[in-house]
Amino acid sequence: MAGVFPLVELTLVGFHPGKLVGDGAECSKKPKNDEQQSMRADVLNSDEENEEKSEFHKLANAKIFLSDCLACENCITSEEAVRVFQQNQKELFQVLNLNKKCDTSKHKVVAVSICPQSLPYFAAKFNICVTEAAKRLCGFLRSLGVHYVFDTTIAADFSILESQKEFVQRYRHQSQEEYALPMFASACPGWIQYAERVLSSLVTPYICTAKSPQQIMGSLVKGYFAKQQNLSPDKIFHVIVAPCYDKKLEALREDFYNPLYSSRDVDCVLTSGEIFQIMEQRKTSLKEVKEVAFDTLFGGIKEGELIRHDGRRSDGYLEHIFKHAAKELFDIDVKEITYRVLKNKDFQEVTLEKEGETVLRFAATYGFRNIQNMVLKLKKGKCVYHFVEVLACPGGCLNGKGQAQTEDGKPDRALLRQMEDVYAAVPVQLPENSEHVQKLYQEWLEGIDSTRVRETLHTKYSMEKPTANSFDIKW
């Protein structure tokens, strides 16, 4: 993997609809050989406890690459494939190099937003704590010519708060609205792409409409921040550093694009591994880089201590929505959440009892096999959950394919364990307690229940499958 801007073998871990569509899903792409065929047949039957070798990893090991999956005639257009591929280190350096030239009309402000699940990767790689990794990564990016480095936790705050609110509304209206429950989480682009492009109207009405943290960060940087800095959105080049490749495709969504300025809210997504490649190429160890605090969206103020959300392996949607709903709907304070492991450690449930009755039943469903089982249950009318946190990667976002694999493309379990340990040490903060979030609701969004909130923080899901050209890309 190391080298000067190599042609990356992109394996979208969360997005392999073309290979694993199960009962009820439609896809014209046929498995290539018997091994893959049998994997497909196993999907709904396997109940091995703690099965770590996920379907995604099996596919990765079986050398199923992005071109096999996304170039499937039904799932991605040729234009999207080109734009996914263009989002690489070269694109960032093109902008940084133009900024060094005399023609100022071509200069752009370069802002990089880092997902909290990417930071443990750098901490584990360089054997430092997450806070130090964040500061040194910020220093490294600044040394390349990046102007601002943000933490996307603030965007996840908004996404969680909006999801909580929507869940309570859906729960209250469940007897009047056919598609109110279960509510599926909307933060994972691998899951959303699969739901929209393969499962379509079978599940899209059940997906929470709150935008993902990446999409909200895009609105914050190209909307709020651009205005504060007196810049038009097209004068900012916004890069996201993320644990997976799926976010590259998410950046291309229609509601991420401002036609007035021909500007995308996120111009380029780079994985943690791609940033690491830049360090390798420059022979830079993060340990030797000067520490610089993250910027905030509020001009000169620097970000304080790093915080994370409640989830152990994700942004904590399940935990936050569960506690909020217990209080809001049943006036019960939940301090600790107890998970019950079901078929495997990536399929767990949490329940709330009141007067002998189960009033809330939530599930965390990670990895393709568990998602398939959940969808099958929904199709048969046997889904018993009120909320499901769906993540395409087994083990959650720390296990994103853009960071948790060895150089030869295998799952790096030792690195994953290290990442889990350092991530757990980051202090937790409730999104409700963020002063910056409250300030932005008032100043930028005109209140917490405004039309602006609905327009800026929520999205719609497509129910149409894209008409794509048949083409063959070699990554």
Contact residues for ligand SF4 (CB under 6 A)?
Answer: 13-14, 188-190, 243-244, 246, 391-393, 396-397, 400
- Across the beta sheet with 236-242, the strand order is 148-151, 109-114, 236-242, 268-271
Nearest approach in angstroms of CB 191 to ligand SF4 is 6
Nearest approach in angstroms of CB 391 to ligand SF4 is 4
Measured from the CB atom, the residue of 190 and 233 that comes closer to ligand SF4 is 190
Measured from the CB atom, the residue of 123 and 244 that comes closer to ligand SF4 is 244
DSSP 349: E
- Report the 10 Å Cβ neighbour count for 251: 26
Nearest approach in angstroms of CB 86 to ligand SF4 is 19
Helix, strand, coil share (%) of the chain residues, nearest 5: 45, 15, 45
Nearest approach in angstroms of CB 54 to ligand SF4 is 11
Measured from the CB atom, the residue of 171 and 206 that comes closer to ligand SF4 is 206
Nearest approach in angstroms of CB 398 to ligand SF4 is 8
H or E element, residue 347 = strand 347-354
Measured from the CB atom, the residue of 350 and 416 that comes closer to ligand SF4 is 416
Structure tokens at 52: 């770590």
Measured from the CB atom, the residue of 263 and 344 that comes closer to ligand SF4 is 344
Q: How far apart are CA 414 and CA 107, in angstroms?
A: 42
DSSP letters, 98-164, are HTTSS-GGG--EEEEEE-TTTHHHHHHHHT--HHHHHHHHHHHHHHHT--EEEETHHHHHHHHHHHH
Q: How many residues does the chain have?
A: 475
Cα torsion angle, 338, 403, 116, 416, sign: positive
- In one-letter notation, the amino acid at residue 287 is K
Structure tokens at 201: 């109207």
Nearest approach in angstroms of CB 463 to ligand SF4 is 21
Instruction: Report phi then psi at 307, rounded to 5.
Output: -130, 165
Nearest approach in angstroms of CB 258 to ligand SF4 is 24
Measured from the CB atom, the residue of 346 and 349 that comes closer to ligand SF4 is 346
H or E element, residue 413 = helix 413-424
Measured from the CB atom, the residue of 157 and 246 that comes closer to ligand SF4 is 246
Measured from the CB atom, the residue of 238 and 248 that comes closer to ligand SF4 is 248
Nearest approach in angstroms of CB 283 to ligand SF4 is 28
